[in-house]
Structure 1
């Protein structure tokens, strides 16, 4: 509809500006959907020779309703309701996670774990490194990573006086980068699925080759390491400390409680979900092949039923440590704690198709890039990786999805690389790097929302506090792509990038540690 017009940028840019101005993600997302409703209704009216009038407001309201309700259900070709089961499963999993957290707290598991761990990890740096390592180990899926790492490390982080915003940054900057660097993950399977449609062959080899040039993902992990090691708190991170957090859990240990009341449910959660991810992938693909299984897995189903199994196990092992009058507060507080994140996620998932399909923002930006580069404006072997990195970052930032950006930009990247005799694996690295950065930095990204949820802080404070860190990393990655392209040396790009990161974060350390 707006694929050929700069008007396609209005909705995402308005949402992002409103997030900065109002610090209210829900309001900003809703206004963005309403603006899109006005634009689509006006376009349809004028296309049919009609004028936009008072009666058109009803069409705008219908558009808003349909956009939001599409997260829950749609109508198939026969006119019957088709429930969006994957989304509903994710919402169910969020509630289960909130209940599990409260049950562990009420049983004394969190207090026991904190008392045990403080003898071994008694500093903010130590607890943050624990979250960092957990984020690297749990690489199979980003949703899974973002939500479980927070549950595992949040209480220890609180006890050691780290902030929820720092934890959210650590979670966000380990989940997606680790997944993109691991071809044996849901991300790797998805990318291979896109590449299979391009018909180039040797897809897995190309994906492996792209890993070594994925500067942003590697540098994001290194930046987190430096931030923890040097305890760097940039101004935004100092200003927003546990903003809006009210769920600090009791660390008063109950008589007889033990760390198994936390460790067993969390590891059961990881184990059950991992098994279901593999089982649903096998069931759908019919092949005992890991990549095929990951490509066809049903993540929402696996999260919900794996979480439910962990909840039942948690109830069984906690039963004798819980007072009967505690069950209602456990379920009530656990459910209420996840409602704000669920609201934001509903609106983020609602506006995604609006920006992608109605506004066609990604297509507009991608076509602009393609025309500019193929037209020879400033073309060189350096320009293609840099341009695809920037445009991929901007598309992901505006749309809130790295996966959607992959689908749009990888075919364009292949075409540009083939036409201009540039190595596709390196252009692919630039696309993946840019998309992951844009997804990290975007306030409307589902991984931004879920990382904040896992850490237990507000989405607004997480977005504002992590932006300077990830943007610094992206700038260094951009320089590395330029160096590597110009000198035809990925290794030199790493050398310059690492030195830059050490230098910049070293300056941050002096000023803000």
Structure 2
């Protein structure tokens, strides 16, 4: 169905889902209600509409790709647990007497190191650091924040990441960006104007180091973890299945940290970066498949389990990420509904008359944040806004690729990332809750004040930059 603008009704499904998520603390129920409201607004028969919505939203390569990554990450985490690799890494660090501050800084650095994939970064960082931060009495909310606020922002700052390649692809054919080379150079030029990405990464480090004290709901969560030893709030629903948390290695198993812990990550990094350099396209899913295959075979050779045991472990790994898969699937369905309702068009139409050369950057940032917040997708926001905002910037510069054009690209990129960080519908937000084993809504509640602080600072800087440029 072609996108149709239903006016202010177009934001109702997302608003209802977001409000219910915070009220009921049940993301699955809230997303289902949002989807049903959307179907009612479009006038579709509920039963037929649900079927068509699922086929349209989930029966495509984009969702299947993300689903494949989640499935293989679940298997890989389960095999990590079965091999005893994570416990071995945790015990190796215990000798270093890592306290809360050190554990947070280590998680921050690890999140930055996994710069090539916003999906792998929170899952790997959260899985590796969970036991370490638990023992250091760091709340799961804090760990999920560190995972979330390093994963996507670092990808927006690396021109040759999957994000950079995607953004360059959207820029080809706009203004003077006639080919991939000039478009890729534009992505390089915009990095210094990507204030949200830069300050989001910096703020995580400063908070982890204790230079900036915790505030808002996060302060309460950290106080609870430190004083009561509760890394999760009472009544919290961790987004990690019990199947994963209950997997234990067989008695007498002694993992080799390089073979069982670091090597799978090296395979993923080498495959992802290598395929990008050779083929021009990073094969992230294939990288996970290769790592899982390696780990399975190596564990068989090391006699860490029979084929039947490792297959059962793999199945439990898939079960362990099922909650995240369901939430992600429903988020995709809600995103499909918002497209049908023309939510993005409504936001753009409602604000376009306000934009002047001075306000271009700040309003582009805010509009992108709204679209990303209500749709849960920064990449979708980029696809919508880059063809609108960048030509507008070229028009204001007389067709020249000046700082205003590069800053406009950055404001789109940062705004989409900002909205993503505030939205419980975002895939990377969901994956961060999963990796850290945190309650999804608690993660969103504690992260929003930090994201809003950086967002407000970014708006001020874009306003000043708009005046000077």
Indicate the TM-score class for this superposition, using the shorter chain for normalisation.
0.7 to 0.9
Q: Secondary structure at the match of 1:257?
A: coil
Distance 2:352 2:335 in 1: 23
Distance 1:314 1:30 in 2: 42
Query: Which of 216, 233, 237 pairs up with 1:244?
Result: 237
TM-aligned CA deviation for residue 270 of structure 1: 2.6
- Matched residue, 1:60: 46
- Matched residue, 1:12: 14
Q: Secondary structure at the match of 1:319?
A: coil
Query: Which of 123, 141, 165 pairs up with 1:165?
Result: 141
**Aligned partners of 1:111 and 1:251 also within 8 Å:** no
Coordinate RMSD, CA, aligned:
2.8
Query: Which of 291, 309, 319 pairs up with 2:293?
Result: 309
Greater mean alpha carbon deviation, residues 103-112 or residues 24-33 = 103-112
Distance 1:310 1:157 in 2: 28
Higher RCO (C-alpha under 8 Å, 6+ residues apart): 2
Structure 1 residues 272-306: Cα deviation after superposition (integer angstroms, max 9, x where no partner)? 33444457668xxxxx46xxx13xx4544443x23
Structure 1 residues 367-403: Cα deviation after superposition (integer angstroms, max 9, x where no partner)? 3333332xxxxx3x33111111110110110111111
Structure 1 residues 465-489: Cα deviation after superposition (integer angstroms, max 9, x where no partner)? 211111111111111212233345x
TM-aligned CA deviation for residue 157 of structure 1: 1.9
TM-aligned CA deviation for residue 257 of structure 1: 1.7
Distance 1:329 1:158 in 2: 27
**Aligned partners of 2:83 and 2:253 also within 8 Å:** no
Query: Which of 182, 186, 208 pairs up with 1:206?
Result: 186
- Matched residue, 2:38: 36
What does 1:431-470 align with in structure 2 at a 5 Å threshold? 431-470=412-451
Distance 1:310 1:453 in 2: 24
Q: Secondary structure at the match of 1:70?
A: helix
- Matched residue, 2:323: 340
**Aligned partners of 1:2 and 1:364 also within 8 Å:** no
TM-score, normalised by the number of residues in structure 2:
0.85
TM-aligned CA deviation for residue 166 of structure 1: 1.1
Distance 2:65 2:292 in 1: 11
Query: Which of 96, 103, 106 pairs up with 1:130?
Result: 106
Please identify the structure whose Cα radius of gyration is greater.
Answer: 1
Distance 2:69 2:259 in 1: 18
Q: Secondary structure at the match of 1:393?
A: helix
TM-score, normalised by the number of residues in structure 1:
0.78
What does 1:398-413 align with in structure 2 at a 5 Å threshold? 398-413=374-389
- Matched residue, 1:104: 80
Distance 1:367 1:318 in 2: 61
TM-aligned CA deviation for residue 259 of structure 1: 5.1
TM-aligned CA deviation for residue 191 of structure 1: 0.3
What does 1:95-494 align with in structure 2 at a 5 Å threshold? 95-201=71-177, 202-230=182-210, 232-237=213-218, 238-239=220-221, 241-242=231-232, 243-245=236-238, 255=252, 257-258=254-255, 260=257, 263-277=258-272, 288=278, 293-294=280-281, 297-303=282-288, 305-313=289-297, 315-316=299-300, 318-320=302-304, 322=305, 330-331=313-314, 333-356=316-339, 358-373=340-355, 379=356, 381-421=357-397, 423-488=404-469
Greater mean alpha carbon deviation, residues 451-460 or residues 185-194 = 451-460
**Aligned partners of 1:280 and 1:302 also within 8 Å:** no
TM-aligned CA deviation for residue 350 of structure 1: 1.6
Distance 1:345 1:7 in 2: 23
